[in-house]
Amino acid sequence: MDTVIKNITLIDGTGREPIPDAVLVIREARVSYAGPVSGWSEVEDGNVIALDLQGQFVLPGLIDCHVHLSGSGEADSQFSAPTGQMALKILKNAQRNLAAGITTVRDLGGWSELEFDVRRAIQRGEFAGPRLCLAGRFISITEAGAEYYSGMYRVADGVNEVRKAVREQVKNGADVIKMGVTGAVLVESGVPGTTHFNEDEVCALVQEANKFGKRVAAHAHGIDGIRKAVHAGINTLEHGTYLYQDPLLIQHMSQHGIFLVPTLKVGWDIIHAKDSTIPFWIMDKNKATQGEAASSLKLAYEAGVPIAMGSDVGTPLNYHGENALEVYWMQQAGMSVMDALVSATGNAARALGWESWLGTLEKGKVADMIVYDKNPLEDLNILADKTSLQFVMKDGLIVACHTGHHLPAQLFAKNVLTI
């Protein structure tokens, strides 16, 4: 049976101008038509669920390329919890994403492999949840972060250990491999500008991941580490704080289609925090790096580096469900409104390597979509406004809506969340 969604303004996630008076048809969880009503021919067999959305705005479900489901925004960034509680925390945070219209999330540092169990439970239909792209553990050299984030890190020193660490993540079901190439902001003794892995280790990691057909996401702030990662052939550069220091490297990323995932929201949340429980070292390091991160995005964007949205939710005061505010901060740093939105839809799918079936509302793509009663292109903050968000669809079924809705019962998934 087809679902025909009529009378919508379609923002399809490709960067194309919005289409007023559009129609979107879903057949077997995929989009079978998305475009102007004039190009659509109605099938008169009556075997259709029709939905008139009275001019509301329909977008692809958003994709967040950098989250930590094991964190809930704890001010001191201390995520740990007993095993059972951690599994429930990961599930709860995953659901907060879905109820906010983030239908796909890429987790770049889970906890004791529990996120793989949560994904299995979601895939079996036992719980509502977003589509999960998982990295498993964050592969790091020996350093203090490994104790601070005990369930997240996999310490590996030297080429052989690095290869083994990659194989472990692949064995556990990782879709992507995450590597910490430089120091971190959210580790007390971490120096973001310092390079951690040596060139041979970075190259070995990328080679081993690619051997299994896995992409590599590299955490890197300092320019030396960014250079090593980019030249080794990573797919996405996470943070990229000091990238602005090397314009030739920016050109190289643009030519080779290496994505930048800037993660700006967390820094602004911390700097603007009234929460005095933020440790001084987290505050100081964010103040020192935030301006640099924003200028790196601006330069990379202007040079044509592909940009994907990653909010880093889970980190201090950066809450699951508020992810879409990252799109606003990317626009504030210099991206056009439409390009900022594409970074969370079509471009985000490309960053994951899933663009052939995900990320835009075009014929043949998975029917993941979000519906707003206001136009998010007029104010990107609307993307994260839960009163404006009307409902969320994943695989052609409603997975989140408000109470007291007027939506056809046949369109509901087995488990439905409240927005």
Chain Cα centroid distance, residue 61? 11
- Contact residues for 134 (Cβ-Cβ < 8 A; gap 6+): 106, 107, 110, 115, 116, 119, 173, 174, 175, 176
Find the shortest distance in angstroms from Cβ 66 to Zn ion: 6
Helix extents (H) in 100-182: 114-123, 145-148, 159-172
Query: Which of helix, strand or coil describes residue 216?
Result: strand
- Contact residues for 154 (Cβ-Cβ < 8 A; gap 6+): 136, 137, 138, 139, 140, 165, 168, 169
**Burial state string for 8-26 with b = 16 or more CB within 10 A and e = fewer than 16:** bbbbbbebeebbeebbbbb
Token pair of 317, please? 């005061």
Find the shortest distance in angstroms from Cβ 247 to Zn ion: 26
Query: Based on CB atoms, which residue is closest to Zn ion, 153 or 372?
Result: 153
Find the shortest distance in angstroms from Cβ 379 to Zn ion: 27
Find the shortest distance in angstroms from Cβ 387 to Zn ion: 29
Query: Based on CB atoms, which residue is closest to Zn ion, 12 or 312?
Result: 312
- Contact residues for 409 (Cβ-Cβ < 8 A; gap 6+): none
User: 402: which DSSP letter?
Assistant: -
Query: Based on CB atoms, which residue is closest to Zn ion, 243 or 393?
Result: 243
Instruction: Name the residues that contact Zn ion, by CB under 5 A.
Output: 312
**Calpha distance 364→378 (Å, rounded):** 29
Query: Based on CB atoms, which residue is closest to Zn ion, 34 or 309?
Result: 309
Query: Based on CB atoms, which residue is closest to Zn ion, 269 or 312?
Result: 312
Query: Based on CB atoms, which residue is closest to Zn ion, 246 or 312?
Result: 312
Find the shortest distance in angstroms from Cβ 68 to Zn ion: 6
Nearest residue to Zn ion on Cβ basis: 312
Find the shortest distance in angstroms from Cβ 138 to Zn ion: 8
